[in-house]
Chains A and B, each alone.
Chain A
Amino acid sequence: MKTLVWVEHDGSSVKDATLAAVTAASKLGEVHLLVAGEGVDGVAKAASEIAGVGKVHVADNAAFAHNLPENIAPLVAELMGSHDAFVAPATTTGKNIAPRVAALLDVMQISDILSVEGDKSFTRPIYAGNAIATVESGDAKLVLTVRGTAFEKAAATGGSGTVEAVSAGSDAGISSFVGAEIAKSERPELTSAKIIVSGGRALGSSEKYQEVIVPLADKLGAALGASRAAVDAGYVPNDYQVGQTGKIVAPEVYFAIGISGAIQHLAGMKDSKTIVAINKDEDAPIFQVADLGLVADLFNAVPELTGKI
């Protein structure tokens, strides 16, 4: 089977989510990549070094600069003439583009796969991860999105793919990019961080989040997260939210601080390798999944932890 993997990038480097998608695709067959964007020579070179990749199709065109699905989906659909599966990471970009490709190909997409069970069968979470479905596609071609935390990342180097320019592409003229507010920070990204420190509603305010959670994250070089309750209460921006409707994460260590552990939140972090919970309510559901639990007032315990770790 020939697969075409969507390379998620920021214009200069390949994003980690791509590497998990490459691993998933390699279980199906040959791995070819698609790098679309404007001025993406550097990305194409980096992509060609990913272990195990064959051809790297590079579509360099102003119309592809901002991942507008109206322009990109027809490009992918055309390339799918010579591929059997389109594989995209289940990022907001992948989730935006892949179903548009699937409908153009008259294919039912299989979203957010957790494992490859056979040529056409996969597992995927349903009901916010409260159930796992094993499904089999009956379509001639596959369109898949891949949950990044469910697959090992392919090695970013060691490969020797061949870069090939794709001339196709035009601006559909129905959408344009206006602007973005992407938080710039020295911190690792939430979805690829090794350690995450998350705060919940028990913090009580944005100031307390800054005062209690941030120093611990700084000390550990960790990413910052939050429960939906903390986001809804306005302590932190939306993109901090870990949970079924926010980000799905699986770091080495996840600190849940003042987070009770609603099903919604657990669905987003229960695949973390080690879960550390600090909560003053000893009956909080978070302790049912925590590897290390500390029943304590977070306002005392967390600064002490920050001081001693």
Chain B
Amino acid sequence: MKILVPVKRVLDYNVKPRVKADGTGVDLANVKMSMNPFDEIAVEEAIRLKEKGVATEIVAISVGPAKAQETLRTALAMGADRAILVQTDDAVEPLGVAKILKAIADAEQPGLVILGKQAIDDDNNQTGQMLAALTGWAQGTFASAVNVEGDHVSVTREVDGGLETVKLKLPAIVTTDLRLNEPRYASLPNIMKAKSKPLDTKAPADYGVDIAPRVKVLKVSEPPVRQAGIKVADVDELVAKLKAMGVHS
């Protein structure tokens, strides 16, 4: 079984985003960029399925600028077999990405597509579900466990209030939640090896997909700042303040 793993190059999660002064977006010039953390989990899960003998080939895909090659090389160094970069300097919305992935899925015929549940830049949480709609496949979103059993996959999902397990017919779409696994670090020999793994470069037009945005960003601004309040001296003062606010047992 082949597994497709789409990955996105985003602002590194340790970097505090700065809103640009002109309100057009977040400043991405000269800041560290990395693979979206949820996508790292997706790559890791695919590799584990290959190590278990369930998957035979892992194809990493990224839709983005030329530099997204680095993100794909990271996926290859972790253990993906080959990569496809659908190169564009335009910002592509989840619907556009899902359409490109649908075209790739038609060509590659995977058994599973594993995606991060959301990218930590736009926080949309849409691409996996949209790809599932376009392919007509079942979806197991926010996964905390994935088990392939014959022609089905059982996915345990993190839902409000607890966990839920669904059984999906393959091929299927899985999106990863935070605790599905702990992604490995690529070893130096594997980083070297990844440089010679195949990486195809394509364009959105190769798939006949119109990526013109549907949503216009009018403005990006700083969130309202919360002011610090007061420090109380001891528990008695805290209790008095809380009681004054109507908070008591």
- Please tell me if B132 contacts chain A, counting CB pairs below 8 Å: yes
A182 touching B122 by the CB < 8 A rule? no
> Which stretch, B64-72, B134-142, B193-201, touches the partner chain A?
B134-142
Residues of B contacting A176 in the complex (Cβ-Cβ under 8 angstroms): 166-167
Q: Across the interface, which residues of A come within 8 angstroms of B132, CB to CB?
A: 69-70, 100, 103
The digit string for B189-230, where 1 denotes a CB below 8 A from any CB of A, is: 000000000000000000000000111111111110010111
CB distance from A170 to the nearest CB of B (A): 14
Residues of A within 8 A of B248 (CB): 220, 309
Chain A nearest CB from B11 CB (Å) reads 7
Given contacts A135-B218, A136-B215, contact A295 B123 (CB under 8 A): no
Question: Which residues of chain B from 143 to 163 have any CB-CB distance to chain A below 8 Å in the complex?
Answer: 144, 154, 157-163
Give the residue name and chain of the A residue nearest to B249 (CB).
A219
* Stretch of B50-58, B73-81, B82-90, B239-247 with 4 or more beta carbons under 8 angstroms from chain A: B239-247
A109 touches B124 (CB 8 A): yes
Would you call A305 and B125 a contact (CB within 8 A)? Answer: no
Partner of A178, one of B121, B166, B215: B166
- Beta-carbon contact of B229 and A182 below 8 Å: no
CB distance from B78 to the nearest CB of A (A): 21
Interface centre among B136, B167, B229, B241 (most CB of A within 10 A): B229
The yes or no answer to A107 lying at the interface (CB within 8 A) is: yes
CA gap between A274 and B231 in the complex, in Å: 13
A288 CB–B CB distance under 8 Å: yes
Closest approach, in angstroms, between the C-beta of B216 and any C-beta of chain A? 5
B164 contacts A by Cβ under 8 Å: yes
| Residues of B close to A301: CB separation below 8 A | 235
A132-B222 contact given A102-B126, A292-B229, A304-B235, CB 8 Å threshold: yes
Let me know if A82 is at the binding interface, CB within 8 A. no
A83 at the interface (CB under 8 A from B): no
Q: Considering the chains assembled together, what is the distance between the CA atoms of A91 and B125 in angstroms?
A: 12
B81 nearest CB across to chain A (Å):
27
Interface assignment of B22: CB less than 8 Å from any CB of chain A: no
A98 to B: closest C-beta gap in Å: 8
Shortest beta-carbon distance from A7 to chain B in Å: 15
- A43 close to chain B: CB less than 8 A: no
B98 within 8 A of A: yes
Q: How far is the CA of A130 from the CA of B94 in the complex (A)?
A: 21
- B121 x A126 contact (CB < 8 A): yes
Interface of chain A: mostly helix, strand, loop or mixed: mixed
Say if the beta carbon of B234 comes within 8 Å of chain A.
yes
A127 to B12, CA, bound (A): 11
B interface residues, tally (CB under 8 Å): 77
8 Å CB contact of B163 from A139, A180, A293: A180
Q: Tell me if B165 and A276 are in contact (CB < 8 A).
A: no
Q: How far is the CB of B136 from chain A (nearest CB, A)?
A: 8
B residues in contact with A131, CB < 8 Å: 17, 19, 26, 220-223
Return chain A residues, CB-CB under 8 Å to B172: 174
Given the known inter-chain contacts A111-B126, A305-B239, please indicate yes or no for A239 contacting B133, CB distance below 8 A.
no
**Is the Cβ of B133 less than 8 Å from the Cβ of A104?**
yes
Which of A174, A239, A274, A296 is in CB contact (< 8 Å) with B162? A239
- Cβ 8 A contact of B223, one of A106, A125, A291: A125
Enumerate chain B residues within 8 angstroms of A66, measured Cβ to Cβ.
164, 166
Which of A69, A182, A305 sits near B161, CB closer than 8 Å? A182
20 additional contacts, CB 8 Å, given A239-B160, A289-B228?
A96-B139, A99-B126, A99-B130, A111-B123, A121-B218, A125-B223, A134-B220, A136-B218, A172-B138, A173-B169, A182-B159, A182-B161, A195-B247, A221-B249, A245-B178, A282-B231, A292-B230, A294-B231, A294-B232, A308-B239
29 contacts between A and B (CB under 8 A): A93-B159, A98-B129, A99-B94, A99-B125, A99-B133, A108-B93, A109-B95, A110-B215, A125-B123, A126-B220, A127-B121, A128-B120, A131-B17, A133-B220, A134-B217, A134-B219, A137-B214, A176-B166, A181-B163, A195-B247, A219-B249, A244-B123, A253-B245, A288-B226, A292-B238, A292-B241, A294-B234, A309-B243, A309-B248
Q: Write the residues of chain B forming the contact surface with A, with a CB cutoff of 8 angstroms.
A: 11, 16-17, 19, 26, 93-95, 98, 120-134, 136-139, 141-142, 144, 154, 157-169, 172, 178-179, 213-223, 226, 228-232, 234-236, 238-239, 241-243, 245, 247-249
Chain A residues within CB distance 8 Å of chain B: 66, 68-70, 73, 91-93, 95-104, 106-112, 121, 125-139, 172-183, 189, 191, 195, 219-221, 237-239, 244-245, 247, 252-253, 263, 270, 274-276, 282, 287-296, 301, 304-305, 308-309
Closest 9 CB pairs of A and B: A291-B229, A103-B133, A99-B129, A103-B130, A108-B214, A99-B126, A182-B162, A175-B138, A178-B165
